[in-house]
């Protein structure tokens, strides 16, 4: 039996920014060791359908692209598939060329074939030389007349290791329009839906999906496949836990596929993730990559890891992200040919085998932040690795216009990171975690950002109270954190169009820099000590309180610049207005004492707390515990 591993597809939207992810009809040259476009002939008019495209006479189109090349290294490493077949259907006279790469991005010709008229051409390929990395792809060169790619697939005769379907779990809070669009996309593509047993849409908002225009039609289209569940806002962890819990109650499923709400989905990616999970030699988690929904050729989330010593997440080769495929496509991007191993994948898109859930339980009742990383770390310890899979992706609003470390989410960033460290850090007393956490507070204090420091102190006190607090405040932690903002004037974003906020000394403009361009070594220690002492000993000038002293753009307001001033105007992350930061010596002194005390107590009690949280984990994440939460909060 022939099993399709991957279809060659073209974008659902007529968006020129998407074309480089699907087809690369450009000629490249190398100038000063950098790839440079020599010509650009990418036209939406040459995309004929979801599976077909026109190759203009004399033109060479490459399908060595993010969505249409075959990620051979991942298939060789994680599955037992060793033979695949590429089948290409064409009309017209053309030459088909098949290429491969290795982990260093070196290109090699594998095969070639000239075709005439209506042709179906197959290439049998071995997956035996891709241990470190590498893709396989094909190019088509049209002869003197236009040719058409009618369709292409990557297939195998090998049967999958497991044949169960997946349920989808979509968690939403007041994003009904996004949800309707995702449901419409799924309903329109049976190639993806054939692998889906049930779609659990967990609506935790007040703007209900069921009341959104278009819901009735898409509900009819999906029929019994769609199941809408309404519950109070238990955060991402509560919504995804509900999807996992409901999937466990059904038979015939091997997986649950988690999807965020504010996304645009490539349905072929959904199909690929489930198929890859079915073929994996051992059960594993299949994560999807994240492209920027507002800048759609940019890849923001690739393989992600948790650094052990500071116990902090980051992307592999984070300094190389985001990667813009509009400027450097797959064939020109050496780094993207390497096989990258991940510690976890964000739950904007992640396939989880039910074997893992049955063995490990559900997510921590964390509300948001670190629930995905913690679950993946827990899974890895139990022998369920996470694969961040190329060619499996969606579009999500990126973090470019956000700064959730200084809003109400600062509570969850701090608490959940420390809880995850208590559960999974193998370094005595968490290594540098608490030192790094304390430094975060010091930076906020020096920048006159008192609200996140108050939230982080609350988070540390809750951690010290023991693990049961996570269940107790699951429904109240977020509204309580948001309510606290009223006590901190710097949280107000000034947007009144009738008022122009000005600083006494104008806007401070700097040459573009990176966050790492600040002081380091002895200069860093001296700067920190002098800034802390200055804020402790010296009160702000009255004139600087009446009117902000300086103004910073968001990109210029680094922690080593703002502390030199008594007050500052700083642009909001989304550019919608300005925040006013003002030095408050009384708050500063009180909060500095408190953060030093709390971090010292956490360090002293770390072994005791570690034992408490690890002992409580099985109960916190058990289906029975979550069932009780669902029933209590209903």
Q: HSE on the CB side for 454, CA within 13 Å?
A: 19
Which among 167, 165, 172, 177 has a CA at the least distance from the CA of 225? 167
C-alpha 358 chain-centroid distance = 25
Can you read off the two tokens belonging to residue 492?
A: 């107000």
* 234: DSSP letter: -
Parallel/antiparallel/unpaired status of strands 285-292 and 263-265: unpaired
Considering 61, 260, 372, 441, which one is annotated as catalytic? 372
CB 340, CB 598: distance < 8 Å: no
The distance in angstroms from the start CA to the end CA of the chain is: 47
Q: How far apart are CA 333 and CA 52, in angstroms?
A: 26
Task: Please report the sign of the dihedral spanned by the C-alpha atoms of residue 14, residue 17, residue 20, residue 25.
Answer: positive
User: Beta-strand (E) ranges in 506-574?
Assistant: 507-508, 550-552, 567-571
- Burial category of 266 from C-beta neighbours within 10 Å (exposed 0-12, middle 13-18, buried 19 and up): buried
| Alpha-carbon gap, residue 257 to 244, rounded angstroms | 9
Residues near 621 by beta carbon (within 8 Å), at least 6 away in sequence: 360, 361, 362, 363, 364
- 417-to-367, 406, 453, 525, 556 alpha-carbon distances in Å: 13, 16, 15, 25, 27
CA atoms within 13 A on the CB side of 102: 6
**CA 508 from centroid of its chain's CA atoms:** 33
DSSP per-residue string spanning 288-323: EEEEETTEEEEEEE--EEEETTTTEEEETTGGG-SE
Our CA dihedral for 3, 195, 370, 245, rounded to 10 degrees, sits at -140
17 classed as catalytic: no
Please report how many Cα atoms fall inside a 13 Å half-sphere around the Cα of residue 356, on the Cβ side: 27
Which active-site residues does the annotation give?
372
């Amino acid at each position: 039996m022939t099993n399709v591993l991957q279809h060659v597809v073209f974008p659902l939207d007529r968006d020129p920014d998407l074309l480089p992810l699907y087809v690369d009809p450009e000629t490249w040259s190398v100038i000063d060791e950098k790839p440079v476009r020599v010509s650009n002939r990418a036209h939406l008019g040459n995309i004929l359908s979801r599976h077909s495209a026109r190759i203009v006479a004399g033109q060479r189109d490459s399908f060595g692209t993010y969505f249409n090349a075959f990620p051979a290294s991942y298939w060789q490493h994680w599955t037992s598939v060793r033979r695949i077949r590429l089948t290409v259907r064409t009309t017209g006279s053309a030459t088909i060329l098949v290429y491969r790469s290795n982990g260093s991005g070196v290109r090699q010709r594998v095969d070639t074939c000239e075709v005439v008229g209506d042709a179906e051409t197959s290439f049998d390929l071995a997956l035996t030389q891709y241990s470190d990395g590498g893709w396989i792809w094909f190019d088509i060169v049209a002869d003197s007349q236009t040719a058409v790619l009618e369709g292409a697939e990557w297939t195998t005769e090998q049967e999958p290791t497991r044949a169960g379907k997946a349920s989808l779990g979509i968690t939403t809070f007041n994003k009904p329009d996004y949800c309707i669009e995702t449901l419409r996309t799924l309903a329109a593509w049976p190639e993806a839906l054939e692998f889906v047993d049930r779609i659990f849409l967990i609506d935790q908002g007040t703007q209900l999906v069921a009341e959104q225009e278009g819901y009735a039609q898409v509900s009819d289209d999906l029929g019994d496949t769609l199941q809408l569940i309404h519950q109070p806002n238990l955060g991402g962890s509560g919504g995804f836990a509900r999807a996992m819990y409901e999937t466990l109650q059904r038979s015939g499923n091997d997986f649950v596929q988690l999807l965020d709400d504010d996304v645009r989905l490539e349905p072929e990616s959904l199909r690929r993730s489930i198929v890859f999970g079915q073929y994996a030699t051992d059960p594993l988690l299949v994560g999807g990559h994240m492209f920027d929904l507002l800048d759609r050729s940019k890849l923001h989330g690739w393989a992600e890891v948790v650094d052990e010593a500071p116990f902090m997440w980051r992307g592999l080769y984070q300094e190389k992200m985001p990667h813009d495929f509009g400027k450097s496509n797959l064939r020109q991007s050496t780094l993207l040919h390497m096989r990258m191993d991940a510690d976890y994948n964000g739950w904007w898109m992640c396939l989880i085998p039910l074997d893992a859930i049955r063995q490990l339980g559900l997510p921590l009742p964390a509300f948001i932040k670190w629930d995905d990383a913690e679950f993946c770390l827990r899974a890895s310890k139990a022998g369920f690795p996470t694969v961040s899979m190329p060619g499996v992706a969606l579009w999500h609003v990126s973090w470019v216009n956000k700064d959730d470390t200084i809003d109400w989410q600062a509570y969850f960033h701090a608490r959940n990171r420390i809880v995850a460290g208590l559960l999974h850090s193998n370094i005595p007393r968490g290594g540098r975690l608490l030192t790094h956490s304390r430094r975060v507070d010091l930076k906020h204090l020096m920048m006159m950002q008192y609200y996140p420091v108050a939230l982080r102190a609350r988070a540390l006190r809750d951690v010290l109270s023991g693990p049961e607090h996570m269940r107790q405040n699951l429904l109240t932690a977020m509204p309580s954190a948001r309510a606290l903002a009223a006590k901190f004037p710097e949280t107000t974003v000034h947007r009144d169009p009738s008022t122009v906020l000005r600083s006494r000394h104008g806007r401070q403009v700097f040459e573009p820099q990176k966050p790492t361009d600040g002081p380091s070594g002895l200069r860093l220690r001296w700067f920190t000590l002098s800034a802390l002492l200055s804020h402790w000993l010296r009160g702000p000038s009255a004139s600087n309180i009446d009117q902000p002293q300086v103004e910073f753009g968001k990109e210029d307001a680094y922690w080593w610049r703002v502390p030199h001033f008594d007050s500052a105007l700083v642009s909001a992350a989304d550019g919608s207005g300005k925040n006013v930061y003002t030095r408050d010596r009384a708050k500063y002194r009180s909060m500095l004492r408190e953060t030093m005390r709390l971090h010292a107590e956490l360090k002293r009690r770390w072994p005791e707390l570690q034992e408490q949280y690890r002992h409580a984990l099985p109960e916190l994440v058990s289906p029975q515990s979550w069932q009780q939460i669902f029933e209590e909060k209903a």
